[in-house]
Amino acid sequence: MDSKLYARVDAWFEAHKEELIRDIIRLVRIPSVSDPSSGEAPFGEGCRRAMDEMLQIGREHGFVTEDYDHYVGSIGTGEKNWDNMIGFWNHLDVVPVGNGWEHEPFEPVRKGNFLIGRGAQDNKGPAVGMLYVMQCLRELSVPLEHELCLFVGCDEERGMEDLEWYAAHHPCPAMSMIADSGFPVCYGEKGILEGQLVSGTKWSDAVISCSGGSAGNMIPDLACAVFRENGELYEEIRKRIAEKRAEEDISLEETEQGFRVSAKGTAKHSAFPEGSRNAIRELSAFLKELSALPEEDRRLFETLAFFSQEYYGENPGISYEDAVSGKTTCAATVLTMEERRPVLHLNIRYAITADPERMTAGLRKAAGAHGMEWKQERNSAPNYFPKEHPAVSLLTDLYNEITGEKTESFVMGGGTYARKLPNAFAYGVGGMRETEEDRREKAALFAPGHGGAHEPDEGLNLRQLLAALKIYAVSIAALNGCPLKFEEAETKK
| Pair 332, 369 in one domain | yes
* CATH code of residue 441: 3.40.630.10
Are the C-beta atoms of 64 and 78 separated by less than 8 Å?
Answer: yes
Confidence of residue 78 (pLDDT cuts 50, 70, 90): confident
* Segments forming the whole domain that contains residue 60: 3-190+383-492
The alpha carbons of the chain give a radius of gyration, in whole angstroms, of: 24
Domain finish residue from 379, 395, 415: 379
| Pair 276, 320 in one domain | yes
Mind listing the pLDDT tens digit for each residue in 88-97? 999 999 999 9
Cα(343)–Cα(209) distance, integer angstroms: 12
| Pair 216, 356 in one domain | yes
DSSP-assigned beta bridge partners for residue 210: 225
pLDDT at position 245 over 80: no
Cα(178)–Cα(173) distance, integer angstroms: 12
Closest residue by Cα to residue 342 from 292, 282, 297, 398: 297
Predicted local confidence at residue 248, as pLDDT: 66
Strand order in the sheet with 329-338: 250-254, 258-264, 222-228, 207-212, 329-338, 341-350, 191-199, 372-380
Mind listing the pLDDT tens digit for each residue in 250-305? 999 999 889 999 999 998 999 999 999 999 999 999 999 999 999 999 999 999 99
Mind listing the pLDDT tens digit for each residue in 177-209? 999 999 999 999 999 999 999 999 999 999 999
| Pair 80, 101 in one domain | yes
Domain finish residue from 335, 356, 379: 379
pLDDT at position 246 over 80: no
Task: Give counts: helices (H), strands (E), the chain.
Answer: 13, 24
| Pair 392, 374 in one domain | no
| Pair 133, 11 in one domain | yes
Structural domains in the chain (count): 2
Mind listing the pLDDT tens digit for each residue in 2-25? 999 999 999 999 999 999 999 999
| Pair 217, 171 in one domain | no
**DSSP SS3 for 420:** helix
| Pair 45, 154 in one domain | yes
| Pair 60, 116 in one domain | yes
* 443 burial level (CB within 10 Å; 0-12, 13-18, 19+): exposed
Give the DSSP H or E segment for 264.
Answer: strand 258-264
pLDDT at position 1 over 90: no
Domain finish residue from 319, 347, 379: 379
Q: How many CA atoms lie within 13 A of 51 on its CB side?
A: 27
Predicted local confidence at residue 90, as pLDDT: 98
Are the C-beta atoms of 229 and 193 separated by less than 8 Å?
Answer: no
| Pair 151, 262 in one domain | no
* CATH code of residue 259: 3.30.70.360
Residues belonging to the chain: 493
| Pair 316, 395 in one domain | no
Burial 82-108 (b: 16+ CB within 10 A, else e): eeebbbbbbbbbbbbbbebbebebbeb
Predicted local confidence at residue 244, as pLDDT: 75
| Pair 124, 179 in one domain | yes
